[in-house]
Homo-oligomer: A and B are copies of this chain.
Amino acid sequence: MAPILDIKGLYKNYGSTEILKDINVAIEPGDFLVLVGPSGCGKSTLLNCIAGLEPITGGSLSIGGQDMSNVSPKDRDIAMVFQSYALYPTMTVAKNITFGMKVRGVDQAEQDAKLERVAEQLQIKPLLNRRPSQLSGGQRQRVAMGRALVRDPKLFLFDEPLSNLDAKLRVEMRTEIKALHQNLGATMVYVTHDQIEAMTLATKIVVMKGGVIQQIGTPSEIYNRPANMFVADFMGSPAMNLIPAKATANGNGSVIEITGADGTPITLKDTGTSGLPNDVIIGVRPEDIAEAGQRSGESLQQAECRIDIVEPAGADTFVVTHLGGKAVTARLHAETTAKAGQPQMLSFDLSKVSYFVPATGERLN
A-side residues, CB < 8 A to B, are 39, 166-168, 171, 174-175, 178-179, 182, 193-196, 199-201, 219-220, 223, 235-239, 285-287, 308-309, 311-316, 318, 320, 327, 329, 331, 334, 340
Contacts and interface: CB of A to CB of B under 8 A. Distances in A.
A50 B237 CA distance: 34
30 contacts: A166-B193, A167-B194, A167-B195, A168-B195, A168-B239, A171-B237, A171-B239, A174-B311, A175-B327, A178-B309, A178-B311, A179-B308, A179-B309, A182-B309, A182-B340, A196-B313, A196-B314, A199-B312, A200-B311, A200-B312, A200-B313, A200-B318, A219-B312, A220-B312, A223-B314, A235-B314, A236-B315, A285-B314, A287-B316, A287-B334
A90 to B, nearest CB: 26
B175 A236 contact: no
Contacts of A285: 314-315
A351 B237 CA distance: 29
A167 B39 CA distance: 12
Contacts of A334: 220, 287
Contacts of A318: 200
Contacts of A219: 312, 314
Contacts of A313: 196, 199-200
Contact of A175 (B166, B168, B287, B320): B320
Q: What 9 A-B pairs are tightest by C-beta distance, nearest first?
A: A200-B311, A287-B315, A223-B314, A199-B314, A199-B313, A200-B313, A236-B314, A219-B312, A178-B309
Given A166-B193, A182-B340, A175 B311 contact: yes
A287 B334 CA distance: 10
Given A167-B194, A175-B327, A200-B318, 17 more contacts: A167-B196, A168-B195, A168-B237, A168-B239, A171-B237, A171-B239, A174-B311, A175-B320, A178-B311, A196-B314, A199-B312, A199-B313, A199-B314, A219-B314, A220-B312, A286-B315, A287-B334
A171 B315 contact: no
A154 B20 CA distance: 52
A295 to B, nearest CB: 11
A158 to B, nearest CB: 17
A314 to B, nearest CB: 5
Contacts of A166: 39, 193
A196 B220 CA distance: 25
A83 to B, nearest CB: 13
A203 to B, nearest CB: 11
A286 B182 CA distance: 22
B327 A315 contact: no
